[in-house]
Amino acid sequence: MELTAQQLGAFDGTDPSKPIYVSIRGTIYDVSSGKGFYGPGGSYAVFAGREASRALGKMSKSEEDVNGNLDGLSEKEMGVLEDWEKKFQAKYPVVGRLAS
């Protein structure tokens, strides 16, 4: 399955009949099993239905960082992003790709 960023936004946890998705480096994960974290009011809800690579690398929950732009990230931040990616790969099923 391939989703645009706009389509991905529909999977932000606000509709209980839909799964919750988060994209990292263009890979979309179904994080519904982590609803307490990614659902509305959860500590990581800002990432739900969005491409979150930059924010994860920067360990940021700031709106302006929740995107896929990796320009200017330090080597350390890229390492942090890779660690997040490994955690997602181990914990959540891949459901598709973000359309470029």
Q: What is the 3-state secondary structure (H, E, C) of the chain?
A: CEECHHHHHHHCCCCCCCCCEEEECCEEEECHHHHHHHCCCCCCHHHCCCECHHHHHHCCCCHHHCCCCCCCCCHHHHHHHHHHHHHHHHHCCEEEEECC
Q: Could you list the pLDDT tens digit for every one of the 100 residues in the chain?
A: 999 999 999 999 999 999 999 999 999 999 999 999 999 999 999 999 999 999 999 999 999 999 999 999 999 999 999 999 999 999 999 999 999 7
Tokens representing residue 71 in the block: 């320009």
Domains of the chain, first to last:
2-98 (3.10.120.10)
Q: Tell me the pTM.
A: 0.96
